[in-house]
Amino acid sequence: MMFGLVVFIATVFLTGVDKSSQRSKKQARTNQSLAEAKELLMSFALLSDKQVPAAPSAGYLPCPDTDGDGVSNTPCGGVGASVEGWLPWQTLGSKPLKDGNAVCLRYAVSGNYKINPSAPLVKAPPTLGHFVIHDQSNAVIVGSAPAEYALAVIFAPGQTVTGQTRDVGGGAATACGSTTVGAAVNRAANYLDQLSNVDNAGGTYAGAGVPGNAALPTNIPSVFIQTNNAANFNDELIWISPQDFVDVYARMP
């Protein structure tokens, strides 16, 4: 009996250790992919005038990918309208970037900084971004003033939560989504979650103030939420701030 008890306790302990190790590995992969995506986007912006001849200067970020093949789809939305979609990993010269649950990263770009259709950029004072980031209590952690609004946000969506589905909708599967652009597997609402009156899929906030009053695509500033996992919420975010763009602004005329 003692031997059996020892084996049982050891099994429970080792199972717990293994699960903890798996969680750590998944988190490390998520962190690495988010950081890599941010660096690739800033590198693109640094040389956007050389990579895309139509770009009038450095400082522009690519349009998102709409079907999950990794290629930026242009034009995206109207002039000045922020948009969201898959991270265009192929356009950025990368392999598919995925989180720890093997889900491809998604990406929102400020309408002022997207490459097509583009609006003129100014480096001093810098052209404003469009994105505010809240914590779980809806305290602003990024964007307490317009000059601090983020220029882009990258999302690690994680596993599905209640109400989400990710089928290819009759199209052919791509590396991240489906050739049918409107398929569930390509829709932001089936990846990005809601918490504390913030909807990451639309960039909306059901609270006071202008930011978050209109869903993407929109010319109005948007709100996203970054916090620890909660019931039906497992999004992880990283963003590009004006401070991250110091070297990019230096290349702008």
> Which DSSP string corresponds to 141-202?
EE-SSGGG-BSEEEEE--S--TT-----TTS-B-SSSBSSTTSGGG-GGGTS-EETTEETTT
Q: How many residues does the chain have?
A: 253
pLDDT number for residue 23: 82
pLDDT number for residue 9: 53
Q: What is the DSSP string of 98-129?
A: B-TTS-B-EEEE-TTTBSTT-----BTTBPP-
pLDDT of 4 higher than 80:
no
Q: Which domain holds residue 77?
A: 2-251
CA distance 179 to 156: 21
pLDDT number for residue 56: 84
* More confident position, 2 or 50: 50
CA distance 105 to 118: 24
pLDDT number for residue 253: 85
pLDDT number for residue 7: 52
Residue 79 carries which side chain, given as an amino acid letter?
V
What phi and psi, each to the nearest 5 degrees, are found at residue 135?
Answer: -100, -175
Domain count, the chain: 1
* More confident position, 210 or 8: 210
pLDDT of 226 higher than 80:
yes
| Arithmetic mean of pLDDT, 167-175 | 95
pLDDT number for residue 50: 87
**Structure confidence at residue 91 as a pLDDT band (50, 70, 90):** very high
**Structure confidence at residue 34 as a pLDDT band (50, 70, 90):** very high
The tokens of 93 are what? 């010269």
Identify the DSSP state of 56: S
pLDDT number for residue 51: 79
Does pTM top 0.85 for this prediction?
yes
What phi and psi, each to the nearest 5 degrees, are found at residue 39?
Answer: -65, -40
Choice among 18-27, 61-70, 116-125, 164-173 with the minimum mean pLDDT: 18-27
Choice among 4-8, 74-78, 103-107 with the minimum mean pLDDT: 4-8
Verify cis geometry, omega within 30 degrees of 0, for the bond prior to 253. Answer: no
Could you give the 3-state DSSP secondary structure of residue 243? helix
Residue 236 · residue 154 · CB < 8 Å: no
> Could you read off the pLDDT of 175-184 as tens digits, one per residue?
999 999 999 9
Q: What is the largest CA-CA distance in the chain?
A: 79
**Structure confidence at residue 52 as a pLDDT band (50, 70, 90):** confident
pLDDT number for residue 30: 97
Quick one: residue 96, left, alpha or beta (phi over 0 = left, psi -120 to 50 = alpha)? beta
pLDDT number for residue 6: 52
> Could you read off the pLDDT of 7-28 as tens digits, one per residue?
555 444 545 556 677 888 999 9
CA distance 47 to 102: 30
Could you give the 3-state DSSP secondary structure of residue 133? strand
> What number of other Cβ atoms are within 10 A of residue 1's Cβ?
5
How many degrees, rounded to 5, is the angle at CA 76 between CA 31 and CA 59?
A: 60
